[in-house]
Structure 1
Amino acid sequence: MSFNNLDTLYRQVIMDHYKNPRNRGSIEGNPMTVDMNNPTCGDRIQLQLLVDDGIVKDAKFDGEGCSISLSSASMMTQAVKGKPVDEALKMSELFSDLMQGKDIDEEDIDLGDIEALQGVSKFPARIKCATLAWKAMEKGVEEEKED
């Protein structure tokens, strides 16, 4: 597949998650809730995670922002659901490496749709948009460990 076709496919995946977000909403009960924002561009997200026995049982988000931040939140919640917390954190580390333009070993963990965001690494100002939901997940998990 040519680079242009791949780029077009990635844009379509990003826009699909933006226009049809997965896991948008809130979790009933008492989920872990993290509010974060990106003051440089106005992205705002509220992430909710339901973690039980070290497994992310549910993940939802709400907020407002650009297509990159909201599609990334959609992809992230979809990717971490049902995963052990340690694996979710490993995914976050790999995603951060991807955003920094580093080569990642895709054999470790399949990032699925998330790989569509790899082009963001060419636009440093947009990296914070893409990583906002991931940073919220990391913060929530760390706070949960401290309790």
Structure 2
Amino acid sequence: MSLSDSLYKEVILDHYQNPRFRGKLEPADLYEHGINPLCGDELELSINLNGDKISEIRVSGKGCSISQASGSMMAESLQGKTVGEAEDILSRFKNMILENQDPGFGEDLEDLESMESVKKIPARIKCAVLPWNTLERALSRIGK
């Protein structure tokens, strides 16, 4: 195992054991429930907006360390971002995991790169992407 793989595992484990932005917003401007029926991972995402900015974001759920850590990383990376910035991060994350593209994340988003190690375990890719697919559905409701 390379040093980067070891560090990536530490980042994932830290987000799983100490999740950021955990909980549920009530009321929430956007709410979405995501589930991976193959492994039973579940995720609830709630977002409050202030204009075009994500003013509050919370994630709750149950499941494997990868899905829960990915949700924590996602929430941490999106807090305070505009919807457009969130959509850009979402796109770059999914392209990193699903299309093997370099996401070009800056230092402020470096934890997200740890999920790249999940690609080595194809059965776990859906776990890593679950929060992001849930976010994509939630954002698709804006203005509708």
1:131 lines up with 2:129 in the alignment: yes
Q: Give the secondary structure class of the aligned counterpart of 2:141.
A: helix
> 1:9-24 residue pairs with structure 2 within 5 A?
9-24=7-22
Alignment: residue pair count: 144
Matched, 1:111 2:119: no
Q: What is the root-mean-square deviation in Å for CA atoms of aligned residues?
A: 1.7
1:107 Cα deviation after fit: 6.0
Go from structure 1 to structure 2 and tell me whether the alpha carbon gap of 1:144 and 1:120 turns closer, same or farther (over 3 Å shift): same
C-alpha separation between the residues in 1 aligned to 2:91 and 2:108? 13
Deviations 1:92-126 (A, max 9, x none): 11111111252325168953201011011122211
Match of 2:141 in 1: 143
Identity, in percent, stands at: 36
TM-score by length of 1: 0.90
TM-score (normalised: structure 2):
0.92
User: Which secondary structure does the structure 2 equivalent of 1:16 belong to?
Assistant: helix
Query: Could you tell me which amino acid in structure 2 is paired with residue 23 of structure 1?
Result: F
Which residue of 1 is the match for residue 23 of structure 2? 25
Q: What residue in structure 1 maps to residue 67 of structure 2?
A: 69
CA separation in 2, counterparts of 1:34 and 1:28? 13
Whether the aligned pair in 2 keeps the contact of 1:98 and 1:121 (CA below 8 Å) is no
CA distance 1:63–1:12, change in 2 (3 Å): same
Q: 1:30: how far off?
A: 3.3
Q: Pairwise mapping of residues 29-68 of structure 1 onto structure 2 (< 5 A)?
A: 29-68=27-66
Task: Quote the offset at 1:28 in angstroms.
Answer: 3.8
> For the residues of structure 2 that align with 1:48 and 1:30, how far apart are their CA atoms?
6
CA apart distance, 1:27: 1.8
Query: Secondary structure of the equivalent of 2:127?
Result: helix
**Contact 1:23–1:78 (8 Å) recurs in 2:** yes
Alpha-carbon distance in structure 2 between the residues aligned to 1:115 and 1:139: 22
Gaps of 5+ in 1: none
